[in-house]
Amino acid sequence: MTPPRKVEQGPFRVEDDTWLDAPTAIERRARPGPQAEAEPYWAGLREGRVLWQRCGSCRRYTHFPVDGCQWCGGEVQVEEVDARGTVNTFSVCYMPFGFGMEAPYVAAIINPTCEPGLQVLTDIVNCRISDLRIDMPVRPLIVHDGDAALLLYEPDMRSTP
C-alpha cells in the first residue's frame, strides 16, 4: 500500500484518488458480543432498516443501544430512522485493523440529521478518498453478507449543492 502523496491542512484533504468500494464480505469482521439491547438494531439491519432507540422523555435518539437514554437516562423504545447525516470527522487508515478490514478504508464519525449531537462511528464507502470532506452529506448503506449486516455510509449526492 502506497501512502498518500500529501495531506493538505485547510480544509483537511488527503490527495489520494483511491476508490473505496463497499465490502461484499463482512462475515469475518469483528462485531460486538451478544447484547439484548442491541438485538433490535442488528435485526433491523438484517431487514434493511436502521432502528435506533428513542427516549420517551426527552425524545432524543441514542446509539449504540443501551439500557436507557444516553441524554437523560429515560426509558427508550426502538424507532426506524432515516439515518442520513454529515461527516463530523474522518481518518484514512492505510493499515488493516482486525479481520476483514482491507486497507485503505475510512473510519468516520457521522452526525445524523435526526439527532445532530449523536456520533455514529462507521466506514465511508463508494467514493474516492480525495472527495471526503468534513460536513459532507452522507446516507446510510446497509451491507449484507449471509446473516450478517453492517451500517456503513456513502456520499449523498442528492444533498450536495
Whether 76 and 128 have beta carbons less than 8 Å apart is answered as: no
Cα–Cα distance, 135 to 34 (Å, whole number) = 33
Render each residue's pLDDT in the chain as its tens digit; 161 residues: 565 555 555 556 678 899 999 998 887 887 777 889 999 999 999 999 999 999 999 999 999 899 999 999 999 999 999 999 999 999 999 988 877 788 999 999 999 999 999 999 999 999 999 999 999 999 999 999 988 899 999 999 876 44
* Within a domain: 93: yes
Please give the residue range of the domain that contains residue 117: 83-161
* Within a domain: 56: yes
Backbone angles phi, psi at 147, to 5 degrees: -95, 10
The owner of cell 432524543 is: 60
Could you read off the pLDDT of 63-108 as tens digits, one per residue? 989 999 999 999 999 999 999 999 999 999 998 887 778 899 999 9
Same domain, 109 and 51: no
* Within a domain: 124: yes
Any idea of the CA torsion for 22, 26, 29, 32, to the nearest 10 degrees? 100
* Within a domain: 3: no
Global pTM reads: 0.88
Same domain, 114 and 159: yes
Nearest to 85 by CA among 122, 47, 54, 59: 122
